[in-house]
Amino acid sequence: MVVRRETTMSEPMTKDKVLAWHFLPNDGEIRRGKWRNRKVRAGVTYVHRGPVVLCESGLHASIRAIDALEYAPGNIVCRVRCSDRVVHDNDKLVCGRRRVLWMADATRALHEFAIWCAEQALSQIDEPDPRSLRALEVKRMWLAGDATDKDLAAALDAALDAERAAALDAARACAALDAARACAAIYAARDAAMNAARDAAMTAARYAAMNAARACAARDAAWDAAWNATRDATRDAAWDAAWNATRDAQNEELTRRLKAHKR
């Protein structure tokens, strides 16, 4: 069933201009609407004349870069100004006018952001597996042109082995998998950067939330008991706080990196 959300008096609608982020496919073309298969250009205002309906009709964007990444079909990032019947949802908005202020190929920024997310997760683990750390090191070398696709593939395999070896320790396995995902783009496919960044960010946030929830459990409790205990209000609050704090930090870091690629 499709839930239709139209602009009504109860929606958080505004006529104000809102700065937001929007990602495009790697060819820079719009996939839907009357501009289908047309290249997006910086400095151009795109106008939607019909109904404005979240997830269905209108021009979409997200105020936070980390939220825009969740909807990204590719690595081309646009800084946009939205106006005309702006309707806000939790992680996105829809509007009638979207002006592209600037745009850039964010492939490298997204690869680097994926590495950063993995490092944040691994930094919370005592004695992380050297194979996970090595995978991130090789990924950086690969980005700099100092490692081959074959080198990166080998590092990825080793990082995945580390994840499998840590399978009995849920927290350690989560962070190890995060490192593996950060170096997953072994053939430098342009669309892989977006996937690596999104996966690494989500996995790191889940790990931080899980780690915070575990901290609320009794120190001498078994893991199963601690996991079950996280379902009460206190553990839920710890989870939410850690999740939100991690996503806020990720958004700040991603925003900084995207702005550095402005052209």
Per-domain boundaries in the chain: 13-105, 108-258
Q: Taking 70 as the threshold, does the pLDDT of residue 210 lie above it?
A: no
Predicted pLDDT at 23: 95
**Range among 120-129, 187-196, 212-221 with highest mean pLDDT value:** 120-129
pLDDT at position 220, please? Answer: 43
Backbone φ and ψ for 252, nearest 5 degrees, come out as -60, -45
Q: Would you place residue 121 in the very low, low, confident or very high pLDDT band (cuts 50, 70, 90)?
A: confident
Average pLDDT over residues 42-70: 93
Nearest by Cα to 65 from 193, 241, 252, 208: 252
Closest CA to 204 of 184, 180, 186: 180
CATH hierarchy code of domain 13-105: 3.20.170
Proportion of the chain above pLDDT 70, given as a percent: 68
pLDDT mean over 139-161: 88
Regarding pTM above 0.85, the answer is: no
pLDDT class of 223 with cuts at 50, 70, 90: very low
3-state SS of the chain: helix, strand, coil percent to 5?
Answer: 50, 15, 35
